[in-house]
Structure 1
């Protein structure tokens, strides 16, 4: 009987231990409804790892911006996600989309991470979480971003969003690429208007003598 009780207690304790990592991985934003209310992307200017200012308009100037909010350089899921997106860089570019990572990391950490992963897109530093908060993806209990992706059109409209429910929750990069709207079709080139050709009156045959 005693062994049975001990066995039951051990089973319950083991189950609780197994559930702890899952519970710890769950994240909540400080303002859960913020991302749903957003239709127009908040404008911003952040500094990239090369200490150059980057505006939202710089990213949407040639099409769409894919904003990748990640927790930080220390997060293995973030590094994996950034690497997968980097492997698809050429395909995003061909679709008219520019990638950019955003986190609360310092400029030094952004530079180290970009070099380590050989990223072809910029990492923007938001140490005060000003942009992260404006997009409604600041984590409730930590000064980091909830893993999220926003696709912003050239006119500043949010056309796609994905906010992770846990620190490991990321969208499939293929689905993110598929969510990029196709570029507008170019109008067909105008054909030159035909010129009016003036016809010369035919010479009348001369009278025979």
Structure 2
């Protein structure tokens, strides 16, 4: 992994086609929420399939916790869609068939020249693609458990949401004065918009990346 991909740095804002072949920009998928990105070897890997089974079960918690989940794979469109459908996954799979991410992040799994895949990684992001945690999943036990992701997202959310503890008298006074800038999402957008973003529909995102 590139030496600058560390907590506190910004993860690259890649543009890749999704499982419907529509170009998507990571920052559009994230909006202003936390996000987990899974860089996967692909459908052939039993470790990846098992990890995704756990992520699919965990996904409903991510939705109510206002956290997006995105997979990036070097599989082709057909293989990625087969895996997504077999898993029952309702989050985007982005396709890196040209190995753009693999090469840019320097995560080519050189021990597997047959498949030319990425070394699996899981990246936990705060808003604005700010890196909170990086997991190297070359060995299965290097991948985060769902309990660890829960802990990471608790820490990340506590750091970025000023209204984490609304029992704080100062927060209550601000709310009573209708000063909602410190309250998320009330100070930045509507709850309706937030719930729409978490609904899982492909057309929810701000726009196609190829439309500017």
Fold conserved between structures, TM > 0.5: yes
Alpha-carbon distance between aligned partners in 2 of 1:172 and 1:37, rounded to the nearest angstrom: 19
SS of 1:127 mapped into structure 2: coil
Give the match for residue 158 of structure 1: 131
The aligned runs of 1:37-52 (5 Å cut-off) are 39-52=9-22
Aligned equivalent of 1:112: 82
Alignment counterpart, residue 65 of structure 1, candidates 2, 21, 35: 35
> Helix, strand or coil: the match of 1:93?
helix
Aligned residues: 162
Aligned partner of 2:120 in structure 1 is: 147
Q: Report SS of the residue matched to 1:43.
A: coil
As a proportion of its length, which structure holds more helix? 2
Gaps of 5+ in 2: 164-170, 179-212
Alignment match, 2:104: 134
1:159-178 alignment, distance < 5 Å: 159-166=132-139, 169-178=142-151
Return closer, same or farther for 1:32/1:165 CA change in 2, 3 Å cut-off: farther
Q: Which segment drifts farther, 99-108 or 137-146?
A: 137-146
CA distance in 2, matches of 1:78, 1:35: 22
Contact 1:105/1:127, CA 8 A, preserved across alignment: yes
Residue pair 1:42, 1:135 contacting (<8 A) in 2 also: no
Unpaired runs of 5+ residues, structure 1, are: 1-30, 193-209
Partner of 1:189: 175
Scaled by the length of structure 1, what TM-score is found?
A: 0.69
Q: For the residues of structure 2 that align with 1:184 and 1:173, how far apart are their CA atoms?
A: 22
Provide runs of 4+ in structure 1 moved above 3 Å. Answer: 31-38, 185-188
Distance in 1 between residues matched to 2:70 and 2:56, nearest whole Å: 10
Of residues 38, 53, 65 in structure 1, which corresponds to 2:23?
A: 53
Cα deviation, residue 35, structure 1? 4.0
Give the 3 Å change call, closer, same or farther, for CA 177–132 of structure 1 in structure 2. farther
